[in-house]
Amino acid sequence: MSAADRPSGLLHRLGDATSNSVAGAVAATAAACWIVVGVVTEFPSWWQVVLYSTTAIVTFVMVFVIQHTQSKQIAALQRKLDELIRSSHRADNSLISVEERPVDELQNLASTYRDRRDEAVGDAGQTG
């Protein structure tokens, strides 16, 4: 594993660890324990500060974990779809890597394919 892949691997392992039911149970147990600590200590000022700081830090980190893992999964899915388009003789090869094109081109493609769909639906309705 290269040095550049280590942070990515760490983020993926963290994402995997936090996306299962055990992680949810651990979080619920920790929250319950934290409430008990608050009750026992009569909710001192430090209790709230620690709670807010911890939740802010966890939220901040998880935003990056989720964004990274989703971005990598979407990129992999796009490459797979590109390969399917490339391998199909009837497919429109201009759609390969379409996600990288400017917004106006994507809107034009959407309009073109909407028109094709409407024509196909109209043709199917006339024959049936």
Residue 80 backbone phi and psi in degrees, to 5: -65, -45
Report the candidate in 73, 55, 76 with the shortest Cα–Cα distance to residue 16. 73
User: Given this model, what pLDDT does residue 128 score?
Assistant: 54
User: Given this model, what pLDDT does residue 125 score?
Assistant: 67
pLDDT tens-place string over residues 102-114: 989 888 888 988 8
Tell me the CA distances in angstroms from 8 to 15, 32, 61, one per residue in order. Answer: 10, 32, 13
Instruction: Look up the pTM and report it.
Output: 0.63
Sorting pLDDT into bands at 50, 70 and 90, what band is 127? low
